[in-house]
Amino acid sequence: MEEEKTNTIKENPIELAQQAWTHLELVRKKSPLIQCITNFVSMDLMANTLLSAGASPAMIHSVDEIPEFTPKALGVCINAGTLTPDWLPGMKLAAQVANQSKKPWVLDPVAAGGSSFRLKACLELLALRPSVVRGNGSEILALFKGSVDSNSKGVDSVYGSSDAVEAAKSLAQQSGSIVAVSGAVDFITDGDKVVCVHNGVPMLQKITASGCSVTALISAFVAVDPSHPVEATASALAIFGVSSEIGMDMARGPASLRTHLIDSLYGLDEATALARVRISRF
């Protein structure tokens, strides 16, 4: 079964671009309900990113309603950005309920190497087997090493994504989750094969929660194609990247890029997607 899934990863960049468009069309058609347990910084951009892609976001995190609400969601996104001890039980419960309901959930281990509390929490969440974990280079390296990073700059990465490719492969093998490392090039791996996404603009680093938002988009793409998490993750990263490239042509800085990114994702058409998506095998 695992091998069958791995072998489905396409090789041809034209087919991979076509697949990314098909995934976006599926999100627009199915409008999946995505439950997000996320940080206070990202809530607005994340919800708007999901809406502009055609998904239906709900920022619902109370332990009191998770058993009843989480089974209604087609996918769940869990983000450690402004983590405090009181939020962790809800995150774990949502992950468990998603697992029981056979719905995919995606982990964003924000600033995992920033403190012992954060690292422990992210590793405990990872042990609950998300379909996908998406982080920047520093976050994936911290999870792989299982140690805090004395050079950590918190939510920002001090490593390039390419510095974390081998760590991502090992982490995927150890955890059983698909691992995605974002950066100038995004790398997505099941522990064996690696897929690269070459879309995006450097100014995304100047928009807070752009990473959180692309993780939520991954949740929506995986929710509509749960048996192909590598492909769906690459598609989400590519579609988000393409939207930023188109948005950049109209932007005057990070604030207007944020607006134009959302508009471009909402209005993206097939011809533009096929011309601009750049996904390849590593």
**Residue 82 binds which one of Mg ion, ligand TZE, ligand ATP, none, with CB within 5 to 8 A depending on kind?**
ligand TZE
The answer to whether 94 contacts Mg ion (rule: CB under 5 A) is no
> Which residues lie closer than 8 Å to 110 by C-beta, 6 or more apart?
39, 79, 80, 81, 83, 118, 135, 139, 155, 211, 212
Nearer to ligand ATP, 97 or 262 (CB): 262
The answer to whether 162 contacts ligand ATP (rule: CB under 6 A) is no
Q: Which residue's Cβ has the minimum distance to ligand TZE?
A: 81
Residue 59: its H or E element: none
Nearer to Mg ion, 81 or 104 (CB): 81
Of the candidate residues 9, 46, 83, 204, the single one contacting ligand ATP (CB under 6 A) = 204
How far, in Å, CA of 257 to CA of 269, rounded?
Answer: 19
156: which strand partners?
153
Strand segments, DSSP code E, in the chain are: 33-37, 56-58, 75-79, 105-108, 132-136, 178-182, 186-189, 194-197, 279-281
Binding to ligand ATP (CB under 6 A) within 126-145 occurs at: 136
Under the rule (CB under 6 A), what is the footprint of ligand ATP?
Answer: 110, 136, 155, 157, 182-184, 186, 200-202, 204-205, 208-212, 214, 237, 240-241
| Interaction site with ligand TZE (CB under 6 A) | 39, 41-42, 81-82, 110, 155, 208-209, 211-212
